[in-house]
Chains A and B, each alone.
Chain A
Amino acid sequence: MRDTESTGYHAVSWKEPIVHQLSRKRRRGHQVPLAENELRAAIGDVTSSIPEKMRRKHPPELPELSEPDVVRHYIRLSQETYGVDSGIHMHGTCTMKYSPKLNEYITRSPKVADLHPLQAVETVQGALQIMYEFQKWLCELSGMAEFSLQPRGGAHAVFGNARIIRAYHKLNGEIEQRKEIVTTVLSHPCNGGSPATAGFEVVTLYPNEETGYPDIEALKAAVSSRTAGLMMTDPYDTGIFDSNLEEYIKIVHEAGGLVAIDQANANSLLGRLRIGDVGSDLCHFNLHKSFSTPHGSTGPGTAAIGASEKLSKFLPIPTVKFDGNSYSLDYNRPHSIGKLGEFYGVFPNVLRAYAWMMAMGAEGLEEASEVAVINNNYLLRKLLKVRGVSLPWYESHPFRLQEARFSLQKLHEETGIGVADVNRRIVDYGIQDMETSHEPWIIPEPFTPEPPETTPKEDLDRFAEVIDAISHEAYASPEVVRTAPHNAAISKIDRAPSRDPQKWAMTWRAYLRKARSDKC
Chain B
Amino acid sequence: MLKEIGVQSVEELFVDIPQRIRLKKKLQLPSAKSEYHIRKEVEAILSRNKACGELISFLGAGCWPHYVPAVCDEINSRSEFLTAYAGDVYSDLGRYQAFFEFQSMIGDLVAMDVVSFPWYGWGNVSGDSARMAVMITDRHEILTPHTVSPDRLSIMRGHCEGLADIKLIKNDPVTGQVSLEDLKSKISSKTAAVHIENPTYLGFIESQCKEISEIAHDHGALFTVGVEPLSLGVFAAPGEYGADIVCGEGQPLGMHMNFGGGLLGFLACKDDERFVSAMPHRLITITTTERKGEWGFTYVLPERTMFAARDKAKSFTGTATALWAITAAVYLSLLGPNGLRELAEVIMQKSHYAIKQMSEIGGIKIPVFNSCHFEEFTANFDATGKTVSQVNRVLLNSGVIGGKDVTEEFPELGNTALYCVTEMHAKADIDKLAAALEEAIR
Contacts and interface: CB of A to CB of B under 8 A. Distances in A.
A129 B48 contact: yes
B440 to A, nearest CB: 14
Q: How large is the interface on B (under 10, 10 to 19, 20 to 34, 35 or more residues)?
A: 35 or more
A2 interface: no
B301 A399 contact: no
Contact of A19 (B101, B308, B396): B101
A519 interface: no
Interface stretch (A214-222, A237-245, A471-479): A237-245
Nearest to B302: A498
Interface in B281-308: 283-291, 293-302, 306-308
Interface string B47-72: 11111110101010111010101010
Contact of B291 (A27, A159, A347, A490): A490
B192 interface: no
Contacts of B13: 373-374, 377, 399, 401
A507 B45 CA distance: 44
Contacts of A96: 83, 85
Interface string A346-369: 111101001101111111111000
B317 A111 contact: no
A63 B333 contact: yes
Contacts of B349: 35, 39-40, 43, 46
A363 B120 contact: no
A205 interface: no
Given A29-B336, A504-B285, A507-B115, A111 B51 contact: yes
A496 interface: yes
Contacts of B172: none
B273 interface: yes
B258 A348 contact: yes
Given A62-B336, A297-B84, A337-B158, A507 B107 contact: yes
A341 interface: yes
A358 B86 CA distance: 28
Interface stretch (B31-39, B182-190, B214-222): B31-39
Interface string B332-358: 111111111111011011101100100
Interface residues of A, number: 209
Contact of B312 (A105, A111, A196, A423): A196
5 contacts: A28-B339, A299-B118, A299-B324, A435-B86, A491-B289
B121 A28 contact: no
A494 B288 contact: yes
B4 to A, nearest CB: 6
B426 interface: yes
Contact of A39 (B302, B320, B404, B427): B427
Nearest to B116: A506
Given A71-B75, A152-B321, A359-B32, 12 more contacts: A15-B293, A119-B50, A246-B20, A277-B21, A297-B98, A298-B95, A374-B5, A490-B296, A494-B290, A498-B285, A506-B284, A507-B104
Contacts of A424: 88, 90
Contacts of B293: 15
Nearest 7 pairs of A and B residues by beta carbon: A343-B260, A199-B162, A361-B32, A155-B318, A493-B296, A83-B83, A80-B94
